[in-house]
Structure 1
Amino acid sequence: MSSDILTQLQTCYDQLLTQFFSTISYLSQRHPLIAPEPDPDDPYTHPPAAPTQTPNPDGSIPTTAGTVPGPEDSDRAPYPLRPAAPQVFANAQRELAEDLVQKAQQIEFLISKLPGIDRGEEQQAEEIKVLVQKVRDMEERRKAKRKEMRECVKRLDQVILGMAESIEYSATNGHGQSNGT
């Protein structure tokens, strides 16, 4: 039973992870906010108009420009913003939050159903001792029944052999044979 609960827990955690990803994706792509203006002091969002160059140790001017932002800094995100109306966004945000809370409550419920979750370590150790003793008792009963079964098989063998000898004795002494006359 606990393996079923563990499987359900794993499924719920996978679903929760998917919900987190979907929620973050939705919120980051559909928010009604406007992107901030580029910072003139940040070379990654606003490259300088005239690149500053420091001379090389030999006094010559380097041929490469200053900090040049890479494509990861200047290209648009692969998923452009598609703002939703403020009321639609607020409703979706509330619904996504409720879904996350509901999934978390489902996980909490499954965890509460795990065996031994409400017992202390000492209680669990005591239960294990009791179960070990029950297993030992059952093993002793199984051994006794096994011994009893072997004795019954021996007696049955003796009865069958006795009957076979009796039939063989009757056949050789002429008993049990009918005359044709």
Structure 2
Amino acid sequence: MGDRLTQLQEAMDELLEMFLSAFFWVERHHDLKTFGPNDKIPDLKADQPKEVDTKSPEEYKAGQLQLARDIIVKEQQIEYLISTLPGLDNSEREQIQLLRELEDDLVTAEAQRQEALKERDEVLGKLDALLRGLERP
């Protein structure tokens, strides 16, 4: 999993795809209706593909409801990711202090690592001397 900004970007991309999919679904499955007295719904020929796959009103409403729920859930995920970003509840001074503390922790961890490397080298040296001192029977 990437950092929070990458997760946020991916969630935004997914939300865009969901909007486009919802638009396509609504456009593809709506009921054919006229809006004015001069509007006409053309008759399709047998070899002509259907532009609209009309759903029953119940199926259409259920589909719209499911699409809306999915979009709302994704939007809530995005809001959560935004709320977890650093800096929203911290002032610049607090963020600088946090970075200094992290730098101090890093220096301490590096000193411990260097000490462990020295200890490892000492143990390897002792082991090497011990192995060289052994004679074969």
Structure 1 length-normalised TM? 0.46
- Cα distance, 1:137 vs. partner? 5.3
Matching of residue 11 in structure 1 with residue 18 in structure 2 = no
Report the aligned-residue RMSD: 3.9
Q: Which has the higher contact order (CA 8 A, sep 6+)?
A: 2
Query: How many positions carry a matched residue from both structures?
Result: 117
Q: In 1, distance between residues paired with 2:111 and 2:4? A: 33
Contact persistence 1:29–1:79 (CA under 8 A): no
Q: Which has the higher helix share?
A: 2
Counterpart residue type for residue 120 of structure 1: S
Q: In 1, distance between residues paired with 2:31 and 2:6? A: 39
Q: Give the gaps of 5 or more residues in structure 1.
A: 40-77, 161-181
Of structures 1 and 2, the larger Rg is shown by 1
- Percent identity at matched positions? 34
Q: In 1, distance between residues paired with 2:113 and 2:27? A: 65
Local SS of the residue matching 2:85: coil
| Aligned twin of 2:45 | none
| Aligned twin of 2:65 | 94
Contact persistence 1:30–1:84 (CA under 8 A): yes
- Cα distance, 1:37 vs. partner? 5.2
| Aligned twin of 2:76 | 105
| Aligned twin of 1:118 | 89
Q: 1:142 to 1:83 in 2, by over 3 A?
A: closer
Q: In 2, distance between residues paired with 1:136 and 1:87? A: 64
Local SS of the residue matching 1:80: coil
Q: Give the gaps of 5 or more residues in structure 2.
A: 39-48, 130-137
Q: In 2, distance between residues paired with 1:122 and 1:130? A: 12
